[in-house]
Amino acid sequence: MAFVLLAEPAAPVAGVLRRFLEGAGHEVSWVATADEAQRASRERPPSVVLASGLGPLDGEALCRSLRAQGLQVPVLLVYPPDEEQADERATQAGADGSLVGPLKRVTVLTCVSLLLQREEARRAAVAPSALSPAPSPVVEPEARRASRPEPAAPTGGTSADFEFLKRLMLMEVKRSRRYRYPIALLMVEVDRFTERAAALSPTARRGALAETLGLLVEGVRDIDVAVPFADSRFVVFLPHTPRSGARVVAERLREKLKAVQGLPPGTASVGVAVSEPPAGNKSAPPGAPGQQVSFGGLLKDAGDALRRAQAAGGDWVEVASDAASRTQDG
């Protein structure tokens, strides 16, 4: 796996993050001060730096210092739950991404994995044997489709397709905030998959999941991305898609997955998270919709919405901000 330098002054927080990372097979070195982090980085350049963004360690200043020294290692800054401009602050500090607490294992690991994948892709793109300039991380629709393999059986949140999605989303979130266009994330899961697939062989089970992914890919535009996330769960990213459009797509996919031939008849549920930055050139007030958007935040909101859809009995589309009104409507 990778060597992660963890710069966090609070021992309890560092302990949790270290367990997350080491549990995924990463080697972790923990330091509690910015000076220690700089010294450790010089002695052994890490694959990723995961640092507390604010507070006594001041990960933002640490990131600027590392960049001034010419160290281009990926940096992921961690902010407290009440920080409303984490992405903006991280970008200004020169970091590659941000996480906002409370931190969950899957969010930490997927974001770290993304940075590793992106760095690997960057190095490959600038290799001496490259015959053409490296493409932008957010590529044009044709390149997106060409760079993705054909649908295959999901292998979990570390699949090559999911790494592609995470790399794409981190950049698209920044672009959405800057150029003020909406983006949406769908979390799709086959309802009662374990029960429905219990009688299937491993090969047939993988085939059913591959068929599910194929139906999702067929049900979205060329500029959209549908990838496996974990077992019977999939993520669909919809750039330039407002809330109304995201719901239409989610409903279409929910209906489409009733046609999976490799499983006994059943349904699917969809959780929807949308970021709609305010239009125009004016800056929105702090706390306005879209101002706190991040890759991890969208992933969390879509997952929470999916859980509510399943708790309602499945075969349902739940939009993150629509939960209260649906409850009131009964």
* pLDDT score of 152 more than 90: no
pLDDT digits (tens, 9 = 90+) for 100-121: 877 788 778 877 877 776 676 5
pLDDT digits (tens, 9 = 90+) for 155-209: 444 455 566 566 667 767 777 777 788 999 999 999 999 999 999 999 999 899 9
Kind plus residue range of the DSSP H or E element containing 209? helix 202-218
Percent of the chain with pLDDT over 90: 42
* pLDDT score of 307 more than 90: yes
Question: For residue 289, what pLDDT is reported?
Answer: 45
Confidence of residue 123 (pLDDT cuts 50, 70, 90): low
184: three-class secondary structure by DSSP: strand
Contacts of 58 (CB under 8 A, 6+ apart): 34
SS3 per-residue string spanning 232-277: CEEEEEEECCCHHHHHHHHHHHHHHHHHCCCCCCCCEEEEEEEECC
What distances in angstroms separate CA 122 from CA 117, 126, 148, one per listed residue?
9, 6, 17
* pLDDT score of 15 more than 60: yes
Average pLDDT over residues 283-300: 61
Q: Are 78 and 98 in contact (CB under 8 A)?
A: yes
* pLDDT score of 125 more than 70: no
Residue 102: is the preceding peptide bond cis (ω within 30°)? yes
Question: For residue 80, what pLDDT is reported?
Answer: 85
Question: For residue 280, what pLDDT is reported?
Answer: 56
Average pLDDT over residues 65-92: 85
pLDDT digits (tens, 9 = 90+) for 20-73: 999 989 999 999 999 999 999 999 999 999 999 888 889 999 999 998 988 888
pLDDT digits (tens, 9 = 90+) for 49-63: 999 988 888 999 999
Confidence of residue 153 (pLDDT cuts 50, 70, 90): very low
Question: For residue 277, what pLDDT is reported?
Answer: 78
Residue with tokens 């970021």: 275
Q: Residue 270 burial (CB < 10 Å; 0-12/13-18/19+)?
A: buried
Question: For residue 167, what pLDDT is reported?
Answer: 60
Tell me, rounded to whole angstroms, the distance of Cα 96 from its chain centroid. 13
Percent of the chain with pLDDT over 70: 76
The angle that helices 86-93 and 160-179 make with each other, rounded to 10 degrees, is 100
Q: Are 315 and 191 in contact (CB under 8 A)?
A: yes
Contacts of 94 (CB under 8 A, 6+ apart): 63, 64, 67, 75
Question: For residue 88, what pLDDT is reported?
Answer: 79
Confidence of residue 154 (pLDDT cuts 50, 70, 90): very low
Angle at 34 between CA 28 and CA 39, to 5 degrees: 70
For residues 146 and 284, the model is more confident at 284
- Domains defined for the chain, CATH in brackets: 3-125 (3.40.50.2300), 141-329 (3.30.70.270)
Beta bridge partners of 239: 183
Confidence of residue 296 (pLDDT cuts 50, 70, 90): confident
Question: For residue 147, what pLDDT is reported?
Answer: 35
Question: For residue 327, what pLDDT is reported?
Answer: 34
CA distance 298 to 293: 7
Question: For residue 297, what pLDDT is reported?
Answer: 84
Q: Which of 143, 151, 133 is nearest to 167 (CA)?
A: 143
Question: For residue 319, what pLDDT is reported?
Answer: 96
Question: For residue 316, what pLDDT is reported?
Answer: 96
Beta strand 268-275 with 317-319: parallel, antiparallel or unpaired?
Answer: parallel
CA distance 321 to 243: 10
Q: Specify the pTM.
A: 0.52
pLDDT digits (tens, 9 = 90+) for 204-245: 998 999 899 889 989 998 778 888 887 799 999 898 899 999
Average pLDDT over residues 268-277: 93
